[in-house]
Structure 1
Amino acid sequence: MESIESKIKKSISRKKRGELLFPDDFRGQGSSEAVRLALHRLEKEGYVQRVAQGIYVRPKISKYAGEVLPTAEEIAKAIAKRDKIRLVPTGAYALSALGLSTQVPMKLVFLTDGAPREIKLGKRSIKLKKTTPKNLSAKGGISRLVIQALREIGKDRLTEEEEAKIMALLKKEDQKNLLHDMELAPVWVQKIMEKSLDIG
């Protein structure tokens, strides 16, 4: 009789290195308690690493850096996929994602339609804040970040340099998405975003 641990190990060995592993992925292998214990033992053995509560990984191996753990961004995406929730980067993280700030925030804050919570990842953390569906219905990858970044900067505090960067980014956005997302933004943000439209 094969142990749950060896079944899970076999199943992990078929996955790509760097892919995040959740206890739920092994639901068919045994009770949730047995799966948790098996993952805990595999971690002790050094086969997988725990990156946050209930999230494991078999790190990718780089010949220069050794083991490469997933980034906080990758972990947030994996959680969103697992829980079938939407996430929108906000605050300092939105500024950093757009290249408007060179500081990498230690705390990544996302708006979500899932349960609010904070996930600790060593020194960094991911905070999920519950929000209204309207704040999550933006379609454009760039325009939804711009709305959050402008909210973080604040009304009348945008520098010319920041505005120029935002315009250049918005020009890359699909116009249909941009027009859709502008409707969701506060009026003062809409006015800034309108400047990037090719009207004429």
Structure 2
Amino acid sequence: MQRLSEQILAHAGGLPEGTPVSAKSLLHLGNRAAVDQALSRLAERGELIRAGRGVYLRPVTSRFGTRSPSVEQAVEALASQRGEVIVSSGAAAANTLGLTTQVPVRSVYLTSGRTRKMKLGKQVVELRHAPRWQLALANRPAGEAVRALAWLGPEKAEAALLALKRKLPQTTFNELVAAAPQLPTWLARSVGKAAHG
């Protein structure tokens, strides 16, 4: 019979790149204490990466050596595993939409879960709890616009909305307008002005 650590590695090896492994997902292999210990030992040996409390990832091996999975893949997999909404931060969204030339230095994501940090090799990914309205329209272009506008704040929102009205496809802008009732008053007012102005 295979040892528990070998069974865990075989299970992790069958998962897509970046899929997190947690003790709860391995309880079919053994009791909780044994699984926790095996995960910890595998992380110490470098066969798994400890990304955060109770979250482990399989390193990606290529002809250039081993590396951590991509941040996007790890965050996506974590979101589906935990049932959370996890989206890029407002600063990243503003940069993607061309509303700022600032490139975020740190990897920050907004989540419906609790605030925490995840380590992927040397990179630290910050997951910040965000209000529901910032997570509206999660991974859609209109949702990116909402987060970018929230990050820019009330002073810059109207000018940014006029730029977005020119840049975004009409259907995406209409989706943003339709989401206005979910937004805070200052942002809903700005969206209304841009839509009817």
Check the 8 A contact 1:76/1:126 in 2, yes or no. Answer: no
Distance 1:136-1:16 versus aligned 2 partners, 3 A rule? closer
- How far did 1:146 drift? 1.2
Distance 1:157-1:79 versus aligned 2 partners, 3 A rule? same
- TM-score, reference length from structure 2: 0.74
Q: Confirm or deny that 1:6 pairs with 2:15.
A: no
Partner residue of 2:176 out of 175, 178, 194? 178
Paired residue total: 193
- CA distance in structure 1 between the aligned counterparts of 2:175 and 2:157, rounded to whole angstroms: 23
Distance 1:100-1:53 versus aligned 2 partners, 3 A rule? farther
- How far did 1:164 drift? 6.2
The within-5 A match list for 1:35-184 is 35-63=35-63, 66-101=65-100, 102-112=102-112, 114=113, 116-121=114-119, 122-129=122-129, 131=131, 133-138=132-137, 141-157=140-156, 162=160, 166-171=164-169, 173-174=171-172, 177-184=175-182
Q: Which amino acid aligns with 1:83?
A: R
Distance 1:73-1:140 versus aligned 2 partners, 3 A rule? closer
- TM-score, reference length from structure 1: 0.73
The gaps in structure 1 that reach 5 residues or longer are none
Give the share of equivalent positions with the same residue, in percent: 20
Match of 1:15 in 2: 15
Check the 8 A contact 1:140/1:173 in 2, yes or no. Answer: no
- CA distance in structure 1 between the aligned counterparts of 2:38 and 2:73, rounded to whole angstroms: 24
The gaps in structure 2 that reach 5 residues or longer are none
